[in-house]
Amino acid sequence: MAEEAEGGTFWIRNLAKGVSTLGALLACITGIFVLISFSAKCVAMGIFQIAAGICVLMLEATMCFLFLDIGKWLNEKSDKIKPWMKMFFYFAMCIPGPVICGSTTSYVGSLGFVLAGMCYMVLTIGPKGSAPPQGSGNLPYTRQIDDIAA
């Protein structure tokens, strides 16, 4: 239970990892299309999107890199990164592509990072505002109504 309170429930953590992995693949694929352009800025952004997608894959899908020497180290360290750190990382990754290049494919590639950042934002905020169980209040119902009216 303590792990769920700190890191979110099982399904939201796996959803965030899945969305991040799909966003990284989307960024790599669209980075290839951004790379094929006539503008030097867009070529640089294509290289950036591909590199950012590979970095996110290394953080989220570490099983793809276990054959490398760094893969075992990444597997140990990636789960220890706090969700708020990943949230800021993904939101920072989505800004340069559309700002510098401005093509439609750079917007689409950055969309995966935005969605991943939003999933980690949900993990960061956590379950707030859950209703207390009924009958747990110390005051009788009529007294609560009087306090609201006053």
What is each CA distance from 47 to 37, 132, 140, in whole angstroms? 12, 51, 65
Backbone dihedral angles phi then psi of residue 139, each to the nearest 5 degrees: -95, 145
What pLDDT band is residue 36 in, cutting at 50, 70 and 90?
confident
What is the rounded average pLDDT of the residues 8-24?
86
Six-digit token pair at 4? 């769920």
Q: Is the pLDDT of residue 2 over 50?
A: no
Residue-wise pLDDT for 89-116, tens only, equals 999 988 988 898 888 888 998 998 999 9
- Which tens digits make up the pLDDT trace of 111-135? 989 999 998 888 888 776 555 555 5
How many angstroms separate the first and last alpha carbons of the chain? 39
Question: Which among 92, 98, 106 is positioned nearest to 55, based on CA atoms?
Answer: 92
63: DSSP letter: G
pLDDT at 3 over 50: no
What's the pTM? Answer: 0.75
Percent of the chain exceeding pLDDT 70 equals 79
User: Among 5-9, 11-15, 57-61, which is the least confidently predicted range?
Assistant: 5-9
CB 74 within 8 A of CB 63: no
